[in-house]
Amino acid sequence: MDAGSLPGGILWLFDLIERARPELSYDLRHFLQISINDLGHSVPYREAIDLIAMMRRNPTSYVHASEEGWAFPVSFEWIVLKHSFDLLAKVNSESAPPEYPAPWDNADKPKPMSREAVEAALRKMNPERQTNG
């Protein structure tokens, strides 16, 4: 199986490079000590896709922060400390204190879709298959 046929394969990689080139360049240097120009040369595309997919799951990565709409990346420890701080403030306060700001506060949240909208989207993607009402 070549990298172009993988789910989220080479087209996903090229799309990510177009959308988040500075973030990806930084993360490749910071985490892997390679250049974005090494992709497809000293780092095969298949390996690059795997490595970047893992970066995409890491909240300390600028790629992750950018793709999630976060203001900045954070560590797992930062997330625990933020929630601990908020809990401590709530327990020790007479009124509800404001939560400590998080990078995801202003991120675009997906809007819930109605069942009818989901069924219409599925029919559009696969017109041969009929949904059972």
Q: What is the model's pLDDT at position 5?
A: 42
Residue carrying the six token digits 């988040």? 20
Residue boundaries of the structural domains of the chain: 3-68, 76-125
- d(Cα 60, Cα 47) in Å, to the nearest integer? 20
Average confidence score pLDDT of the chain: 85
Q: What is the model's pLDDT at position 8?
A: 65
73, 63 in Cβ contact below 8 A? no
- d(Cα 59, Cα 55) in Å, to the nearest integer? 8
39, 45 in Cβ contact below 8 A? yes
* DSSP-assigned states of every residue in 64-117: HHHHHT-SS---HHHHHHHHHHHHHHHHT-SS-PPPPP-TTTTSPPPPPPPHHH
Specify the pTM.
Answer: 0.69
Residues 6+ apart with CB under 8 A from 42: 34
Q: What is the model's pLDDT at position 33?
A: 95
pLDDT at 3 over 50: no
- d(Cα 88, Cα 86) in Å, to the nearest integer? 5
Closest to 43 (Cα-Cα) out of 61, 56, 31, 58:
31
Amino acid at 20: A
47-60 confidence digits (pLDDT tens): 999 999 999 999 99
Q: What is the mean pLDDT of residues 64-85?
A: 93
- d(Cα 16, Cα 24) in Å, to the nearest integer? 8
89-104 confidence digits (pLDDT tens): 999 988 888 888 888 8
